[in-house]
Chain A
């Protein structure tokens, strides 16, 4: 394994339109946003491409907008901006929680949220919170725009629903005021590490019952996943430690972890259950309920 970055043609877009022109005229390309994944992947030859389209300087895709009932995050928004944003902290705190634990300060100041999603790593830490927030992704091409729910965006490791001429423009997060959400990550150390398992949960409560429950995990399947079985099991049920514990076990129906250098499949399975339960308890705490 020799780490020489292979030769490629380099194109730089300074506006979204320029970028769309480039991606519709070029073949065999990769899009460079923050580059914290792509540059390494080119060096280790995960990808060999003729062309690289650098979109990192497109200012118009770097924003966090508060529209009242929803928050929109431009695809080129840096992770650190998300962690620091008062809007995110108020309206989607679970995303800020996840982002704060990602990588290091230096990398968070280069890496973008769009890059984290489009790279489509099964371990993407922005995915579980966006899953439970019911985020949608706005994809754009010269033909126009379309919206895809985030749960339909990931197709497999490094594979997304993006068409070849499409770019991710923004992430739209509906604002849901009466919910509690939390993110828990188990890594091999306390910071700057890839998830062995990470879980985000979101709960809505009505008279000591679960009105709505959303659970998402990463690193335990080819893509980040929603744990639908466990969610369904809790909906309408009374809030109790026993119900939470039993439901958490059902995440196993929606995950299919592998063994690798970071952890065994068996450990990941067991930890998915533990973290789901812990995260549900924490989410409930955030709406003032102690179980």
Chain B
């Protein structure tokens, strides 16, 4: 039942007159969206975990390990593609302290953990599909015994021909990663808007390029780990590093063949996720749970860095063929895009990632005619998965390179050209979704061009013929909030107030460094209840909280905190009613602020927060509530990719200034300027942290990070020696972000997502800046010194 009416105040549901207080989430969300003054929202409130983390006292999964707990070591495939003829565990079992060797046949429930398609086993069954796939678990009394025995598990492989190149995989039918599929195409997407032939016929300039982007490892500080304890609390309890406790719970239940209610998942502080632990976390948890279930003993798994890099899913590698046209007046007329994602051995979340890339293929621009085809292709490599940006950084890189090239051909400034085409309220996206509100990107880009000195630098740079050449580039991007198309999404949380006035919010949102439960959630509860912020405790990452969805897709606050807002708002309505009786005023006149409850305009007519809570307990007011909210979704037709793709979009832009040493190829990013149109900024300090972290992670991706595979698909650099990420000395100056608070009607106080944002335009901004510096279009990532050097040499830019 959707009863939301946007644009009307003091709306009460028809049954409202007989209700004690408002419980309708639409009304409550709207009421708080319209708040004009704030107590803690919008302020840089320090997160509750700051000191614990600075002092090294915060506990992560590994910190709960104690001696006496069984240790699990994984046995990984040494073949890229092979039938498993047999697994000989005899020798391993004879090793001292070895308790058990677990293989696929030991799994009591389903050996099926594919998220989007049912194509993936927890432990390899029948065949292995990549070098590094997990085949068996060796369980021993301690880590050394497990490590030693793991080398004695003998797997008899019958090698099969393997495919590493996605273009080859697309063509071939004789070598199939998944025979049952009949081809190596795991999934297809398409968009058909208007008529591209007509669009291109109206174009005065056409640009056509092929782009390639590469894998990226998350390289979270904390590798994957899980500790499973049978019987604790009457259930099998798993302490794990996963981004969605309820998903881990359901995967474990499926693998064990038990009801989800028999499983409890707790996610303590997590040392980074970035999407990787959204995919791998539940699988890690399931391996520990399976071992505990089969042995009846507490069991612990912790990946080594090498194991982590060889097994967990990576950012997609892509090939993007992009044709776009524009008319002389600077308006885009059409785009024709083919996106190929190398999904590796399993689909994992590949179809969702491909959908996101497909729907965002235009960039945040209005394009009347669009044709997009996406292919998610199997190969015998470690599989692709969720990673900050989720298919979007690669396609925005391509789209933004196209925008620069079109602007060049039209003789226009790239920012000017973008502004002419930028999405604004009232325009439609390439899925023909009408954007009715919360589209602040044009304003953000205009401000960003100003603060960065864009127009003068763009003219000044890019003309040097010396050794060191400066360039400035822009990347503009958009990112749909919530799940794509009609895929259901909701928020929930549970809040209770104890007799002493202390408040606990229970949420499944996790704390993985981003800080949403320890900052924004707490601020939102404090703001809505009016309770002193010190009294607000957020218990996060527990499957005992109502299922409110994952901490991914930049939704920790934007969607994740709707639940705490609605739950707090329900209780607040009840408290207002109670206070109005106690203070002899109307509920609308009740002010609760930092522990004081008083009548608006008459601070003397007051009681304390604690007194109010005592009255509530003695007068029968329910001080507990859940905050369920089901996000309304429109229609979407998958066959033509038309309809409502997302409830709203966050927008982000980045300008990067670089200096290229043409003789070594080294690119120095001198400064980046970020801009964000992501609705209300609940905590500017946290948002700034997210932007800075994402900008650096994006810069690392573009300039230095790359996975190197040999001809068997074996990862050659699964370690910190040769997988290179930025250090503090590589980080450029990052300007204070430009914020445009384009409120989203269903977001808590109008907030949209932030976490992924600044990474998404980073490849585009930096690549465009390098292209500007050199006068040569960069179409392939990463832009390592070596790659730049040979590009320079190829084009004869130096003597």
Closest-by-CB residue of A relative to B147 is: A4
Interface residue? A8 (CB, 8 A): no
| Residue in contact with B722 in the complex, picked from A1, A186, A190, A262, CB distance below 8 Å | A262
Closest-by-CB residue of A relative to B144 is: A4
- Per the bound structure, the CA–CA distance linking A263 and B716 in Å amounts to 13
Q: In chain A between 249 and 288, which residues have their CB closer than 8 angstroms to a CB of chain B?
A: 261-264, 267, 270-271, 274-275
Interface residue? B786 (CB, 8 A): yes
Bits for A27-59, please: 1 = Cβ < 8 Å to B, else 0.
Answer: 000000000000000000000000000000000
Interface residue? B304 (CB, 8 A): yes
- Per the bound structure, the CA–CA distance linking A8 and B329 in Å amounts to 76
| Residue in contact with A188 in the complex, picked from B148, B151, B306, B784, CB distance below 8 Å | B784
Closest-by-CB residue of A relative to B790 is: A267
| Contacts known (A189-B704, A261-B716, A274-B663); A2 close to B724, Cβ less than 8 A | no
- Residue among B150, B704, B728, B785 with max Cβ neighbours from chain A (10 Å): B785
- Per the bound structure, the CA–CA distance linking A261 and B790 in Å amounts to 17
| Contacts known (A3-B304, A188-B704); A193 close to B786, Cβ less than 8 A | no
> Which chain B positions have C-beta within 8 A of A267?
786, 789-790
- Per the bound structure, the CA–CA distance linking A205 and B268 in Å amounts to 64
> Which chain A positions have C-beta within 8 A of B148?
4
Closest-by-CB residue of B relative to A5 is: B144
Bits for A227-264, please: 1 = Cβ < 8 Å to B, else 0.
Answer: 00000000000000000000000000000000001111
> Which chain A positions have C-beta within 8 A of B786?
263-264, 267
> Which chain A positions have C-beta within 8 A of B708?
261
Q: Are B664 and A194 in contact (CB under 8 A)?
A: no
Closest-by-CB residue of A relative to B793 is: A270
Interface residue? A192 (CB, 8 A): yes
Interface residue? A208 (CB, 8 A): no
Interface residue? B727 (CB, 8 A): yes
| Contacts known (A261-B717, A270-B789, A274-B663); A2 close to B704, Cβ less than 8 A | no
Interface residue? A191 (CB, 8 A): yes
- Residue among A2, A3, A4 with max Cβ neighbours from chain B (10 Å): A2
Closest-by-CB residue of A relative to B306 is: A1
- Per the bound structure, the CA–CA distance linking A190 and B304 in Å amounts to 26
| Residue in contact with A189 in the complex, picked from B151, B664, B730, B793, CB distance below 8 Å | B730
> Which chain B positions have C-beta within 8 A of A263?
786
Q: Are A2 and B151 in contact (CB under 8 A)?
A: yes
Q: Are B144 and A190 in contact (CB under 8 A)?
A: no
- Per the bound structure, the CA–CA distance linking A262 and B704 in Å amounts to 11
Q: Are A3 and B724 in contact (CB under 8 A)?
A: no
> Which chain A positions have C-beta within 8 A of B716?
261
Q: Are A190 and B729 in contact (CB under 8 A)?
A: yes
Q: Are B785 and A191 in contact (CB under 8 A)?
A: no
> Which chain A positions have C-beta within 8 A of B789?
267, 270-271
Bits for B666-678, please: 1 = Cβ < 8 Å to A, else 0.
Answer: 1000000000000
Closest-by-CB residue of B relative to A197 is: B664
Question: How many B residues are at the interface, by size bracket?
Answer: 20 to 34
Interface residue? B360 (CB, 8 A): no
Interface residue? B726 (CB, 8 A): yes
- Per the bound structure, the CA–CA distance linking A189 and B704 in Å amounts to 7
Closest-by-CB residue of B relative to A270 is: B789
> Which chain A positions have C-beta within 8 A of B306?
1, 3
> Which chain A positions have C-beta within 8 A of B105?
none
Q: Are B151 and A191 in contact (CB under 8 A)?
A: no
Q: In chain B between 729 and 761, which residues have their CB closer than 8 angstroms to a CB of chain A?
A: 729-730
- Least CB distance, A42 to chain B, in whole angstroms: 14
- Per the bound structure, the CA–CA distance linking A2 and B722 in Å amounts to 17
- Residue among A1, A188, A261 with max Cβ neighbours from chain B (10 Å): A188
Q: In chain A between 1 and 18, which residues have their CB closer than 8 angstroms to a CB of chain B?
A: 1-4
Count of A residues near B, CB < 8 Å? 22
Interface residue? B721 (CB, 8 A): yes
Q: Are B727 and A189 in contact (CB under 8 A)?
A: yes
- Per the bound structure, the CA–CA distance linking A186 and B717 in Å amounts to 19
Closest-by-CB residue of A relative to B668 is: A190
Interface residue? B485 (CB, 8 A): no
Interface residue? B73 (CB, 8 A): yes
Closest-by-CB residue of A relative to B665 is: A267
- Least CB distance, A211 to chain B, in whole angstroms: 28
- Least CB distance, B275 to chain A, in whole angstroms: 23
Q: Are A194 and B721 in contact (CB under 8 A)?
A: yes
> Which chain A positions have C-beta within 8 A of B73?
2
> Which chain B positions have C-beta within 8 A of A270?
789, 793
Q: In chain A between 126 and 144, which residues have their CB closer than 8 angstroms to a CB of chain B?
A: none
- Least CB distance, A32 to chain B, in whole angstroms: 20
| Residue in contact with A190 in the complex, picked from B663, B730, B790, CB distance below 8 Å | B730
> Which chain A positions have C-beta within 8 A of B729?
189-191
Q: Are A186 and B304 in contact (CB under 8 A)?
A: no
| Contacts known (A194-B721, A263-B786, A271-B664); A189 close to B147, Cβ less than 8 A | no
> Which chain A positions have C-beta within 8 A of B728?
191
Closest-by-CB residue of B relative to A4 is: B147
- Least CB distance, A285 to chain B, in whole angstroms: 16
Q: In chain A between 176 and 232, which residues have their CB closer than 8 angstroms to a CB of chain B?
A: 186, 188-194, 196
> Which chain B positions have C-beta within 8 A of A188?
704, 724, 784-785
> Which chain A positions have C-beta within 8 A of B663?
274
- Residue among B73, B144, B663 with max Cβ neighbours from chain A (10 Å): B663
- Per the bound structure, the CA–CA distance linking A1 and B663 in Å amounts to 38
> Which chain B positions have C-beta within 8 A of A194?
721
Q: In chain B between 82 and 111, which residues have their CB closer than 8 angstroms to a CB of chain A?
A: none
> Which chain B positions have C-beta within 8 A of A274?
663-664
| Contacts known (A1-B306, A2-B147, A4-B147); A261 close to B722, Cβ less than 8 A | yes
Closest-by-CB residue of A relative to B145 is: A4
> Which chain A positions have C-beta within 8 A of B785?
186, 188, 196
- Per the bound structure, the CA–CA distance linking A264 and B721 in Å amounts to 17
| Residue in contact with A186 in the complex, picked from B144, B150, B664, B725, CB distance below 8 Å | B664
| Residue in contact with A192 in the complex, picked from B664, B666, B727, B790, CB distance below 8 Å | B727
Closest-by-CB residue of B relative to A267 is: B786
- Least CB distance, A25 to chain B, in whole angstroms: 29
Q: Are B724 and A191 in contact (CB under 8 A)?
A: no
Q: In chain B between 773 and 791, which residues have their CB closer than 8 angstroms to a CB of chain A?
A: 784-786, 789-790
- Least CB distance, B645 to chain A, in whole angstroms: 38
- Residue among A189, A193, A271, A274 with max Cβ neighbours from chain B (10 Å): A189
- Least CB distance, B301 to chain A, in whole angstroms: 14
| Residue in contact with B727 in the complex, picked from A2, A186, A190, CB distance below 8 Å | A190
- Per the bound structure, the CA–CA distance linking A3 and B146 in Å amounts to 11
- Least CB distance, A148 to chain B, in whole angstroms: 29
- Least CB distance, A10 to chain B, in whole angstroms: 16
> Which chain A positions have C-beta within 8 A of B147?
2-4
- Per the bound structure, the CA–CA distance linking A274 and B666 in Å amounts to 12
> Which chain A positions have C-beta within 8 A of B664?
186, 271, 274-275
- Least CB distance, B289 to chain A, in whole angstroms: 23
> Which chain B positions have C-beta within 8 A of A3?
147, 304, 306
- Per the bound structure, the CA–CA distance linking A267 and B725 in Å amounts to 21
Q: In chain A between 72 and 122, which residues have their CB closer than 8 angstroms to a CB of chain B?
A: none
> Which chain B positions have C-beta within 8 A of A4?
144, 147-148
- Per the bound structure, the CA–CA distance linking A275 and B663 in Å amounts to 9
> Which chain B positions have C-beta within 8 A of A196?
785
- Per the bound structure, the CA–CA distance linking A190 and B666 in Å amounts to 10
Which 7 A-B pairs give the minimum distances between C-beta atoms?
Answer: A4-B147, A190-B729, A191-B729, A188-B724, A267-B786, A190-B730, A261-B708
Given A189-B725, A262-B722, 18 more contacts at CB 8 Å? A1-B306, A2-B147, A2-B150, A2-B151, A4-B147, A4-B148, A186-B664, A186-B666, A189-B729, A191-B728, A191-B730, A192-B727, A194-B721, A263-B786, A267-B789, A267-B790, A270-B789, A274-B663
Residue contacts A-B, CB under 8 angstroms, 6 given = A2-B73, A186-B666, A189-B724, A189-B727, A261-B716, A274-B664
Task: Please report B residues at the A interface, Cβ cutoff 8 Å.
Answer: 73, 144, 147-148, 150-151, 304, 306, 663-664, 666, 704, 708, 716-717, 721-722, 724-730, 784-786, 789-790, 793
Task: Please report A residues at the B interface, Cβ cutoff 8 Å.
Answer: 1-4, 186, 188-194, 196, 261-264, 267, 270-271, 274-275
